[in-house]
């Protein structure tokens, strides 16, 4: 007999409930990830536009500052993405 054949109806209901809850949690995480990526893209576009404006005006110190800010922001976003990706599913009870 397989494990599925040995489950009681109550165990099967609990498993289905857990799977549905986990699916909803994953959907929420996906939504959060999409919002984070959209925020990241907007921030990058804004930073790129600021750096371009600074370069056009010949202000290389400002370009450097913006580039450093951008690098730091990317590192921070990356850490947030890594933390979100490491979120573990709730255990089945």
| 30, 68, 48, 42: CA torsion to nearest 10 | 20
pTM of the model: 0.60
The DSSP secondary-structure symbol of 88 reads P
Please report where in the chains the tokens 């984070």 appear, as a residue: 36
Note the pLDDT tens digit of each residue in 32-50. 888 888 888 898 899 999 9
Note the pLDDT tens digit of each residue in 62-77. 999 999 999 998 898 8
- End-to-end alpha-carbon separation of the chain, Å? 23
Closest listed residue to residue 90, CA positions, set 24, 12, 1: 24
């Amino acid at each position: 007999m397989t494990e599925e054949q040995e489950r009681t109806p109550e165990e099967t209901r609990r498993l289905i409930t857990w799977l549905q809850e986990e699916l909803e949690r994953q959907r929420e995480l996906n939504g959060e990830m999409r919002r984070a990526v959209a925020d990241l893209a907007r921030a990058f576009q804004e930073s790129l536009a600021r750096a371009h404006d600074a370069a056009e005006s010949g202000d290389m110190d400002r370009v450097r500052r913006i580039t450093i800010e951008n690098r730091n922001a990317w590192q921070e976003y990356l850490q947030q993405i890594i933390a979100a990706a490491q979120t573990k599913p709730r255990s089945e009870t």
